Amino acid sequence: MLSLPFMAQIEPTSRCNLKCRMCVHAEPQAGHDLSYDDFRTIIDRIPTLLHLKLQGNGEPLLHNQFCDMAAYAHKQGIFTASCTNATLLTEEYAGKIVESGLNELGISIEYADSEKYEYIRCGSRFSTFTENVSRIIRARDAIRPDMIIVLYVTILQQTDADLKNIVSFAVSHTINTVYVQNLQQHLSFTEHYSEDVKGINNPSGFNATVKRFQEIGRQQGITVWSAKECNWPHSRIFITSKGIVTPCCVLYDPTEYTLGNILHDNLQDIWNNHRYNIFRPSQSAELCDGCNWYHENASS
């Protein structure tokens, strides 16, 4: 275990503008924004921070100071990433995001088929999504070509039939990398899903899909990869829009397991407190059961 975390995921907002069928926002959720001043306080209280993800259970671009947050972290020499549903990417906003110094932007997608996409992503239009992705690519190419743009694909049971379309979408938008994750199976997420949305319920089935995806990508010069293990409790920290620290992005709900509040408590005390230490050794079967990465760890 590190003396302090070098990676953090900080939630700018818990609000979202969509009601995707495979998300906690499929059901109405109360929203909250992290203030810019509190964000700066949090960054300043993690002196070991090298990698930041500006992402939580909301759409980060809804925060009216998202670019200020990215710029502040970037100026501290922190590699800063985020992930968006791309619905808010106007020409002006896309330019500001690139200019902020954000190092990496993930773009979420499950299907590159208009009908399937709009069914899953309630409130979004595929034509708008496609144009907005083109906008951020144009802004990146014109202003800061070294900015990384990645497709984030959540694998559903029906995704297999659309793998070629997703790779073609990446190619047509000059996106060279696709990150793949299984639909999260932890109860904190599944209790909100629509009944007709299913992931792949076993690691071997998911891994087989990833391999097919990788082969299709390889043929088109696209890198497809997936995280294989969880190292959250030993090197990372998740912080909600209210400053509350929880074990990870899956155990995001403070009512389930809270480790402290970084706006009020010393980080060293949080990182080394009793609740963190009893959680760490092999993680908690009770708390982590159902999580994709927990079962990947257990099966490896």
Q: What is the pLDDT of residues 37-52, one digit of tens each?
A: 999 999 999 999 999 9
Place of tokens 């408590």: 265
Query: Residue 190: its pLDDT value, please?
Result: 59
pLDDT band at 33 (very low <50, low <70, confident <90, very high): very high
pLDDT band at 30 (very low <50, low <70, confident <90, very high): low
Per-residue pLDDT reduced to its tens digit, 122-177? 899 999 999 999 999 999 999 999 999 999 998 887 777 889 999 999 999 999 99
pTM of the model: 0.91
CA nearest to 176, candidates 149, 155, 152, 153: 149
Per-residue pLDDT reduced to its tens digit, 201-252? 777 888 899 999 999 999 999 999 998 778 888 899 999 999 999 988 888 7
